[in-house]
Amino acid sequence: MTAPASPAAPTTAASAAPPLPRRMIPLAFRAAGLGLVALAVGLAAAVRGSDASDPLLTYAVVMTAACAAAVWGLWLAVDRYLLRAAETLSREAGLIAHGNAEGAVGGRVPLSRYGDLLPIARAVNELSDKLAQVRRDIARTVADHTAKVEEQKTQLAAVLRDLHEGVLVCNTRHQILLYNQTALDILHLAGDLGLGRSLLHFVVAEPVTHTLERLSLRVREGRHLNHEHGTTAQFVGATTDGRILLEGRMSAILQDPDPASDEPPVITGYVLTLSDATSEMAALGQRDALLREATEGFRAPIANLRAAVETLYDAPDLGPGDRAAFESAMLESCDSLSQRLERVTTAYRNVVTGSWPMSDIHSNNLINLVAHRVGTETATTVTLTGLPQWVHGDSHSLVLLFAYLIGRVQALTGATAFDLEAAGPQDGDRWVYLDLVWEGPAVPSATLDGWLDQTLPDGLGGLSAGDVLQHHRSTAWSEPLPNDLPGGTGRARLRVPLPPAQSPRTAQPRPRAGARPEFFDFGLLHQPLATSELGRTPLDRLHYVVFDTETTGLSPSTGDEIIQIAAVRVVGGRILTGETFNTLVDPRRPIPPESVPFHGITDGMVAGKPTIDAVLPQFRSFVSGAVMVAHNAAFDLKFLKMKERAAGVSFDCPVLDTMLLSRMLLGNDGDHTLDGIAERLGIAVVDRHTALGDSLVTAAVFLRMVEMLRERDVRTLDDAIRGANILVELAARERAF
C-alpha cells in the first residue's frame, strides 16, 4: 500500500520530480532496441542448436527482429519530427522572450517548420504578440511618466532657483539629498555640496542636532498635531569656519507608521531652509554697541551732575535766590537725563529682543533638554520639578545658558544635584521664573555678574550669558532659600525671569455638566490611623503619589470603566514633573458621546490600549511605598477597588483627599472644586482637564495645603487622617438623618 503524503510536506510544482532529460529518451529507445536484438540473436542461436526445427521459435525470432527494427525506426521518427523540433521551438521561444519581439519576423516562429507541433508554435506566436504589446504599453507608460517627472523636475528646479533662501533636504544622518544654487551662494561654496555628504561638514552641528532633537521629542509625544508650528522649528546657526551666521528653519519629513500600530510617526529626514543672517547680526551688533554706549555712557555724566548739584547745594556763598534757581535747573536736567536714559534703555531692549528669533516653548521640554545636555557632559543630575509653564524665547541659547550656569554653580559650591522648576507669574507680573535650586550657599552678586560677562561654550558669534539674558529682556540673581532640610546646610536658587508665551497652549476648559459629585464613601475614606512610624511622620517629610482618573461615566457599579490613569510623584516638598505615570486604558466598551466633552477621550484613542487588569499592577508598583493623594479621592478609589480582584492587586496604602483637606481648612461653605481651590490659592493652571494635568494641579494644591495644615497644628499623617475621618463621620451622620 502506498503511504499517504505527509501534510507537512505538500506536493508542489517545485517539489515534484523533475522531468526526464531529453538525452535519456534516445538511450531508452536504444536500450529497448538492443534488448530486442539481443533477444532475437539468442532465439536464433537456440533454433540453430536444436535438433528439430520449431516453427514457433522461428516465428519468435522473426517477430523479435521486426520489433527491434520497429523500435529503432520509431526512435528515428520521434527524434527527428518531435524531439528535435521541440528543442528548436524552445530555443526560438527563448529568443523571443529575451529579444525585442516587436518585429514580425524576429518576434514570431515560422509555422511551416514544425509540422505536428503546429498548435504549440501557434500558441508561442500568440504569446509573442501579447508580449510585444505589453512591452509597447510599458514603454509608452514609462515615456509618459518620464516626461511628467522631467516637467516636475524642471518646475522644482525653477522654484528652487528663484528662492531667496537656501534649501537642503537631508536624512536623519544629515546626509544631503537635494540642494539648490542659493544654498551654495549662502554657504559661499564655489563647488557642489555633494549629494550624500554630511551637512555638518559645512554647518555647525550643535544648532542643527538640537533642533532635530526638539522636533523628534515633539513628534514622539504627539504634540506636533496641535502645535502652532507643527513639525517646523527655527534656529540660529553658523558655518563651520565661523564666517557666516545663518537663520534656519527645519521641517521634519514624517513617515506614517503601520495603520494597525499605535506607534507615532517616524522622522526620516528634514527640509532645511537657510538665509544669511551675517549682515543682520552685524548690524544688530553695531546697534548693540551704540545703544550700550548710549545707556552705560550716560551713567557717569549723570553721577557727575548729581555730585555737582550736591556740591552747589552745600556751597555757602550763593544767595538764596540764585541758589534756588541753580538747584532747580540742575535737578531738572538730571530728571531729563534720567528719563532719556530710561527711554533709550527700553528701546535698546526692544531692538535686541525683536531681532532675535524666538518661539513659544513648553518649560518641561526646555528643562528636559537642559537635563539631557548636562547629563551627557557631566555627572550632574537635574530634576524637573513644579508645574509646567509656557515661555517665549530661544530654546537653544537658553539650554546653553542654564547648562553653563549649572556648571559654574557646581564648580563654586560643589553641588551635583539640582532642581529646575518653572514658576508661574507672581505678585501680578507676567514673567515666568526658571528657578535653579541646589543645596548650598547662594552665589554672590559680583561672582554672578562676572559669569554673565563670559562667552558661552558653543555659543554662536561669541554670545555671552549676559547677551542671552538681554535678548530675553531678562536678568538673573541668586538668593538663599529657607533652611527646611533637617541637618542640611540650607538651599539657594538662581532665578531667571522669562517672557510668557505669546500664544500659550493652556488647555481650554471643556464644557462640563458640573463637577464630579462628592463621594463620601465611609468604607473608602474612613481609614485606620497609621500607628506605625509612617503615621508619626510629618506631612512635609512623606513621599506622595498624586493621581487622577478619567472614566466613561460616574457610576462604576453600573458598568462605567476607567479610560485613563495619571500620577506624579511629590518628594521633599517638590513636584517631580519628570517622574509621572500616564496611560490610556481600553474600557472594552464604547465611551458614551455625552462624556467625551468632559475628558476629550474618544473610542479611537483607547482602541488597542492595555486593559485595566494590565494597567493596575503597573500603577500599584508606581505608588508603592507612597501616600496616595487625589481630589475627591473616593470617586477614584471606588473605580480602583472594584478592579482589584481582576488585576490581582490591593491599594491598601494611606490616602489623602484634597477636597476633605480643603473642608478642614476652609469649612464646608465655599467652592471646594479643584478649579475653585486653585484659584483661591493663586496657582496658575496649565494643561487642565486631563488626567496628568489634573494630577499636577492637585499636587500644587496639596503642597500649599501642607503649609496651611501645619499652622492648624495638623503636622503628621495621623493628624490629617484623623481630621478627614471626622469629616467623613459627620457627613455620614448628616446623610443618615
Marked catalytic residue, from 174, 362, 472, 689:
689
Q: Are 371 and 420 in contact (CB under 8 A)?
A: yes
Phi-psi label, residue 608: left if phi above 0, alpha if psi -120 to 50, beta otherwise: left
Phi, psi of 289 (to 5 degrees): -65, -40
- Taking the C-alpha atoms of 391, 395, 401 and 407 in order, what is their torsion angle to the nearest 10 degrees? 110
Q: Are 626 and 654 in contact (CB under 8 A)?
A: no
DSSP-assigned beta bridge partners for residue 478: 494
Nearest Cα neighbor of 252 from 305, 295, 212 is: 212
CA distance 316 to 322: 12
DSSP state of 234: E
CA–CA distance from 550 to each of 127, 559, 640 (Å)? 67, 14, 12
CA distance 177 to 298: 54
Positive or negative torsion for Cα 367, 371, 372, 373: positive
Q: Are 683 and 700 in contact (CB under 8 A)?
A: yes
Encoded amino acid at 512, one letter:
R
CA distance 735 to 336: 72
Residue 721's contacts (CB-CB under 8 Å, 6 or more residues apart) are 527, 529, 530, 535, 654, 656
For 523, other C-beta atoms within 10 Å of its C-beta total 11
Q: Distance between the two ends of the chain, CA-based, in angstroms?
A: 91
DSSP state of 197: S
DSSP-assigned beta bridge partners for residue 351: none
CA distance 386 to 435: 10
Q: Pairing mode, if any, of strands 432-439 and 491-498?
A: antiparallel
Q: Are 650 and 720 in contact (CB under 8 A)?
A: no
Length of the chain: 737
> For this structure, is 689 an active site residue?
yes
DSSP-assigned beta bridge partners for residue 481: 491
For 642, other C-beta atoms within 10 Å of its C-beta total 15
Q: Pairing mode, if any, of strands 627-630 and 655-657?
A: parallel
DSSP-assigned beta bridge partners for residue 586: 611
CA distance 443 to 478: 6
CA distance 97 to 161: 46
Phi, psi of 216 (to 5 degrees): -60, -45
Residue 80's contacts (CB-CB under 8 Å, 6 or more residues apart) are none
Q: How remote is the C-alpha of 195 from its chain's centroid?
A: 28
Nearest Cα neighbor of 392 from 246, 512, 505, 476 is: 505
Residue matched to cell numbers 532633537: 213
Q: How many CA atoms lie less than 13 Å away from 206 in the CB half-sphere?
A: 15
CA–CA distance from 729 to each of 12, 145, 637, 657 (Å)? 79, 80, 18, 15
DSSP-assigned beta bridge partners for residue 498: 432
Name the strand (E) or helix (H) holding 422: strand 417-423
Catalytic residue numbers read 689
